[in-house]
Structure 1
Amino acid sequence: MGTNGKTSTAMFLKNFMDKNNISSLLFTSPHLVSYKERIESSEEIEFDDFYEQIKFFENKHNLELGYFETLFLVSCLAFLNSSYEYFICEAGIGGKLDTTSILQAKNVVLTNIGFDHTELLGDTHDSILKEKIHISNSIENFFNEKLTSLNLYGKDAMIIKDYLMNKKIKFDMKRFVSLEDILLSIKQIIKKDEIILLSPGCASQDMFINYQDRGNQFVELCKKIF
């Protein structure tokens, strides 16, 4: 989820899985020519069969689903009625208002945050991020199981920290002024074979010139400190 880069990220993941013989189904939006472009799989999908199921659901519950909701549910049904290992799903507007939030995703990718859907998400960077940062309980459980420490810095640090403070987190969470301060703190607690993951929440463009600069700074600081 995010503002830009969602489709590219999803397609990169799909191509990676294809090249490694990992079966997956991809749902993206919007399309250029045909709505069938939104659902990509190695097997042909019988769209009409799933439309009939959705129509039955609408009639039973007296609902009329929108265009995005319908195609999203078609992709879900196609995945559930297949033997694919992974379902790669691009969010719509993202966050708690998004239809795709019904998925109990085990992995969520947050791309950069910009000004879109301001009538629904708010007209400030902070309000948009707060809406889009909502993640599933399964992700929170994963964090609690795998993380020993979450160290934040940058302009979005407080928003992320405030959000997670309202969740049932079990790991230590701190805010820092710089990446160097974070690594110095980690050095005091890290144990052999533990992993330090540099994860750019949102775009990180307020801290680095570009992605290469971010990687270079991280590597140089690690060499200096460790």
Structure 2
Amino acid sequence: YISRESFSMGSLLRPVDLVNQPLGFQERYKILQKLFKQLQKAYAHTKGTNIDLERLATRLEVHVAKNSLSGQSYKFNMSILLRDVLKYKGDLSKIKINGRPLKGAKPHLSSIGNANSITTRSKAMEALKALILDSKVLEKNGYIVKEMQNKTNDDNSTQLYAPCLRCSSNFKKTDIMEKTLCRYHPLKRIYNRDTKNHQYPCCGETTDSVSFLRLGCKTFFHHVFRGESYDEL
């Protein structure tokens, strides 16, 4: 067992946490170690440092992880990467994952750890592209990538209020910690085909009842809401 806390604070060689993990952290860590060793062999004749190779290994591993739909496809894609890193002597532009070349991964062997090799605008743009992840990949892994649009005053005013998740009453979001009476049913209503009305299974009340219990059989002292917009999150 490999504990995350056991890593030294200065080491970069660890898998990047993802929302959707194709494989467990421990297995990804072991494969990442193998990839690092393969890169050391591929770039042995360059001036690249272990720090540079750790960054490259981490970037390549997370690229494969984000583009693998299952643990089996992740292992298969990583086996191809481990093989082709040595086969093509570190030329990442010749390596294909899922039938597609590695995006933005076209560094010359001499460019590892050597910033002076970037002498033209085109080379600088290639180096920058290597650091950028595709927006579709980010969105698939739970990142918010949509641009925020300017809101009008009316839009801002409507955002001040929200329906309570329990009792459906509209309330001011800033008053969420203010004490109030929130009457609700803990269970969702279901439709009764025999009586042709809705019934709450938590207390047996129906929607056409005249009893005050139809409003709720439970009470609480606060309203609640679930934030879903970019600003609320």
- TM-score in same-fold range (> 0.5): no
If the length of structure 1 is used for normalisation, what is the TM-score? 0.26
Q: Which has the larger radius of gyration?
A: 2
Determine which structure has greater relative contact order: mean sequence separation of CA pairs < 8 Å that are 6+ residues apart, divided by chain length: 1
Normalising by structure 2, we get a TM-score of 0.25
